[in-house]
Amino acid sequence: MVLMSQFSLPRVTTGITGLDIMLGGGFPKERTILIAGPAGAGKSTFGLQFLYTGIIQEDEPGIYVSFDETLSNVRTDAASYGWDLKTLENQNLLAMVDGFSGRAGVASNEKYQTKLEVDELLTLLISLIDSVGAERVVIDSITALALSVDDELLIRKEILKLSAVMSSLTCTTLMISEMQNSDEISRFGVEEFMAQGVITLKYDFGKKGTRSLQVRKMRGISHSMIERPFNLTNNGVEVYHDEILYQ
Ligand SMILES: Nc1ncnc2c1ncn2[C@@H]1O[C@H](COP(=O)(O)OP(=O)(O)O)[C@@H](O)[C@H]1O
Ligand SMILES: [Mg+2]
């Protein structure tokens, strides 16, 4: 007999069919999830897919904050998966925030901009969540945000503040984190603990180039703990939830 709890958490689709199955229906709604992995693992693609499919399939507007890339690069990369971000921006369903130009010290023509600073980012996000009606937010990446602060203690405080405020808002947030190696999820010692969920993306830089994904933690729901292979295809991230990972 299947027991359905009346207290079961509402879910949001991840935009990735195989991952929705691993999670038993998607991310817990309005929570803050950490997406961690090394450079090139597919983190930005994952985040963009979460937003794009959220808008197209679920009518849930979104916000993407880019600290690691120019927005023009992000739009071009997204187009390679067939995701036309500009049209969604024009329809006010997607707000793209340029956090890169300020960081690089170059001029920007983008509509929404932020400095590499948690308080300023939070103020902007709170107003955009209201004006766009955003239900999904992606911050790419918190590593950039943290590295802008000199003091380790202050870094932790800022990350904690960011996650505490995002968790208190009525949107589901993905915080992207760049790992230096596969074992180090929390570069600053706190990310893993303060997020309500952690998903790691791995990339074997050896001959096979195998990509894999694991749900390390997802508070409040039961989920698969098994590391599964995935691929980046012309349609974005595809997770093979019932395939065994051969390394
Ligand atoms: N259209 C595409 N189809 C399949 N794979 C792609 C496509 N575009 C980029 N990639 C792959 O995605 C990788 C970058 O993914 P990205 O999400 O930017 O990683 P991260 O944000 O973790 O650094 C590239 O190195 C390439 O292997
Ligand atoms: Mg990236």
The superfamily in CATH containing domain 25-198 is P-loop containing nucleotide triphosphate hydrolases (3.40.50.300)
pLDDT tier, 81 (very low <50, low <70, confident <90, very high otherwise): very high
Q: Are 196 and 32 in contact (CB under 8 A)?
A: yes
Alpha helix segments (H runs only) across the chain: 17-22, 43-58, 71-79, 85-90, 100-104, 118-128, 142-147, 152-168, 191-194
Answer yes or no: is pLDDT of 6 > 60.
no
Answer yes or no: is pLDDT of 50 > 80.
yes
Answer yes or no: is pLDDT of 7 > 70.
no
- Per-residue confidence (pLDDT) for residue 3, from 0 to 100: 54
Q: Spell out the domain ranges in the chain.
A: 25-198
Torsion of CA 133, 31, 139, 116, to 10 degrees: 100
Region 176-195 average pLDDT:
84
Phi, psi torsion values for 111, nearest 5 degrees: -65, -40
Q: Are 207 and 66 in contact (CB under 8 A)?
A: no
pLDDT tens sequence across 105-149: 999 999 999 999 999 999 999 999 999 999 999 999 999 988 888
Q: Measure CA of the first residue to CA of the last residue in the chain; give whole Å.
A: 37
Q: How far is ligand 1, taken at its centre, from the CA of residue 45, in Å?
A: 7
Question: What lines the ligand 1 site, CB under 6 Å?
Answer: 37, 39-45, 80-81, 232-234
Q: What is this structure's pTM?
A: 0.95
Pocket test for ligand 1, best of 232, 235, 237 (most atoms within 8 A of CB): 232
Q: What amino acid is encoded at 201 in this protein? A: L
> Per the structure block, which two tokens stand in for 163?
């996650």
Give SS3 for 187.
coil
Strands 94-98, 211-218: pairing kind: unpaired
